[in-house]
Structure 1
Amino acid sequence: MSVSVRDVAREAGVSVGTVSNVLNRPDIVSPATVERVTLAIEHLGFVRNDAARQLRAGRSHTIGLVVLDTRNPFFTDLAHGAQNRALTEGYTVLLGGSDESSDRESTLLDLFEEQRVAGVLISPVRTDLSRLWRLREAGTQVVLVDRGSSDHSFSSVSVDDVKGGSAAAQHLIDIGRRRIAFIGGPVDIEQVGQRLEGAQSVVARYADAALTIYPTEALTVLEGRRIAEQISALPPAKRPDAIFAANDLLAMGVIQALVMSGSLRVPEDIALVGYDDIDFASAAVVPITSVRQPSSEIGATAVELLLRETAGASEREQIVFQPELIARASTLGNR
């Protein structure tokens, strides 16, 4: 049988209200009474029901986090950074993956709203943020992660993906590649579109260079493998000599397909650049050149912004980190 507040009050010889004050506002209770109630709690093994207390108060110490893909190590690291920062403030993070589906994203937001989370961190699937506006108007603060808020209507923590895409394409141009394939999609995912935009802006400056888009249905290893198989089947004259993959999972699929077929060598025949610099990138059969994002720092910073807003801050902050290209064997070979 569970021990109630009434049981503790009876054991300590005080009122239920006094026990409540000891649990929630001990500074207004005399030290002697606090000690008596504390001893009663320890003796009876009382455990406070925080869930019920939070529902009565209309608030929670849980933060909802919605990411595009929980299987992607980039988002796993982001969630880890968010959780570590949240715990230092007495909060925890509830993680959900939209799987790049707007319907699934809406379902997760509905569940978080029902749970009365303290706030929501989200990497939205699409550019339409009307659902997030409704969530905030209902009293739940929202911070965007891994994408910016162009009109500054939401606080956000992101990386300059246009610059990251530019760095990837410029690196490929600098090593002499001119027929570049961009693999990624859906392109209406803002991060994908911005990485493509950055690459296109660089390629457009070189009259002898061209960029071909190979859209994918998802940002997964399997999709990377599928596109690489298509590219491998092309005649040499029409085949790209470089690939920029919108994330490292796609790049890993490309490596797998090319290595398994044995028909093309990386980087001799096709150079490859990924994005995110997850741990697997450096551990691939051919270590993958990648554009690094500070994933854990993005998560931690997003929590900080969210807690400022839940505390009453009205200013919407836009934090933009700078990407860094990490060159490895998939573009430089063994030199």
Structure 2
Amino acid sequence: MAISVRDVAREAGVSVGTVSNVLNRPEVVAPATVTRVQAVIERLDFVRNDAARQLRGGRSRSFGLVVLDARNPFFMDITHGAQSRALESGYTVLMGASDDSSHNEQRLLDLFEEQRVAGVLISPLQTDLSRLWKLRDSGTPVVMVDRGSGDRSFSSVSVDDVAGGLMAAQHLIDIGRRRIAFIGGPVEIEQVRHRLEGAQAAVSAVGDATLEVFTARSLSVLEGRRIGFELAQLPSNKRPDAVFAANDLLALGILQAIMIDGTLRVPDDIALVGYDDIDFARSSIVPITSVRQPAVEIGRTAVELMLREAQAGEDAVREQFVFAPKLMVRASTGIAPGATEQH
């Protein structure tokens, strides 16, 4: 049977209120009493029910985090950064994945609200943010992660994806590629749209360069592999000589398909650029050039903004933090195997 506060109080010969003060405000209790009560707590192996205590106070000490895809190492790195910063301030992070589903996203938000989380960190799928407005109006702070707020109505931590898309396509143009394919989707995802916008800007500035868009049903390795086989089977005069994939999982799938097919080589026939710079990209059999996002720092910064907003309450200032992407050049666009990465 679980040991209660009343059991501790009876054993220590003090009131329940004194035990509560020892647990929450020991500075108001005489040192000798604190020592006696703590000794009883240790001897009885008492574990206080923080969940019940916090819910009575209105909020838990957990943040809810909604990511697009828990299978993507990029989002796991964001979660790691968020958790490490949250723990430093006595909070934890509850993570859920929408899996590119609006229904899943809404259900997760409902569950987090029911659990009275101290705040919600979210990489939203939809442009309609009415559910987030409702959540914040009910007293739950919201910070957008890996996506800007647009009208700056929410605090946000993001990466300049337009700049990232531009530098990816510009790199392919700089190494002499002119028939570039962009592979990404679903189109509802703002980050994908912004990366495409950047690539289009780079290509439009070069008269003989073209950009063909292949819409992916998901940002996954399997979807990249499916499209990769399609590319490999195109006649040489219709096949792109370069691919910019909206994330590294797609790029890995494309690389796998090309190598399995065996008729083409990367980068000789098709140069390949991904996005996110996950560990699997730089450790693949042909290391993949990728646009780096500082995932761990994104997670940590998002929690930092959340803590500031939660503390400020109604007086909170909505902060926008935008990281600059970096291009990591590797063998998939021509750097020699074993050579130092180019930043």
TM-score, normalization by structure 2: 0.96
Q: Secondary structure at 1:238's aligned position in 2?
A: coil
1:318 corresponding residue in structure 2: 320
1:20 corresponding residue in structure 2: 20
- Correspondence list, 1:73-222, <5 A: 73-222=73-222
1:65 corresponding residue in structure 2: 65
Maintained 8 Å contact 1:267/1:333: no
**How far apart are the structure 1 equivalents of 2:320 and 2:311?**
18
**How far apart are the structure 2 equivalents of 1:7 and 1:334?**
70
**Cα deviations across residues 221-269 of structure 1 (Å, max 9, x unaligned)?**
0110111111111111111000000000000000000000001110000
**How far apart are the structure 2 equivalents of 1:308 and 1:92?**
16
**How far apart are the structure 2 equivalents of 1:266 and 1:181?**
14
**How far apart are the structure 1 equivalents of 2:316 and 2:290?**
37
**How far apart are the structure 2 equivalents of 1:126 and 1:178?**
33
Q: Alpha carbon RMSD of aligned pairs, Å?
A: 0.9
Measured after TM superposition, the shift of residue 310 of structure 1 is 0.8
Q: Secondary structure at 1:237's aligned position in 2?
A: coil
TM-score, normalization by structure 1: 0.99
**Cα deviations across residues 262-295 of structure 1 (Å, max 9, x unaligned)?**
0111000000000000000111111100000000
**How far apart are the structure 2 equivalents of 1:333 and 1:290?**
13
Maintained 8 Å contact 1:275/1:292: yes
Given the alignment of the two structures, is residue 294 of structure 1 paired with residue 294 of structure 2, yes or no? Answer: yes
**How far apart are the structure 2 equivalents of 1:182 and 1:119?**
36
**Cα deviations across residues 181-213 of structure 1 (Å, max 9, x unaligned)?**
000001220000000000000100111000000
Maintained 8 Å contact 2:184/2:245: yes
2:11 corresponding residue in structure 1: 11
Gaps of 5+ in 1: none
**Cα deviations across residues 43-82 of structure 1 (Å, max 9, x unaligned)?**
2111101111111111111111100000000001110011
Maintained 8 Å contact 2:329/2:335: no
Q: Secondary structure at 2:281's aligned position in 1?
A: helix
**How far apart are the structure 2 equivalents of 1:182 and 1:242?**
9
**Cα deviations across residues 102-155 of structure 1 (Å, max 9, x unaligned)?**
100011111111111110100001111111111111111000000001111000
1:303 corresponding residue in structure 2: 303
Given the alignment of the two structures, is residue 329 of structure 1 paired with residue 338 of structure 2, yes or no? Answer: no
- Correspondence list, 1:34-73, <5 A: 34-73=34-73
The number of equivalent residue pairs is 335
**How far apart are the structure 1 equivalents of 2:335 and 2:24?**
62
Give the aligned residue type for 1:190: E
**How far apart are the structure 1 equivalents of 2:93 and 2:228?**
37
Maintained 8 Å contact 1:63/1:93: yes
Measured after TM superposition, the shift of residue 334 of structure 1 is 2.4
Q: Secondary structure at 1:264's aligned position in 2?
A: coil
Q: Secondary structure at 1:311's aligned position in 2?
A: helix
Q: Secondary structure at 2:52's aligned position in 1?
A: helix
2:341 corresponding residue in structure 1: none
Determine what percentage of the aligned residue pairs are the same residue.
70
Maintained 8 Å contact 1:268/1:333: no
Give the aligned residue type for 1:23: L
Q: Secondary structure at 1:177's aligned position in 2?
A: coil
**How far apart are the structure 1 equivalents of 2:206 and 2:42?**
74
Measured after TM superposition, the shift of residue 333 of structure 1 is 4.6
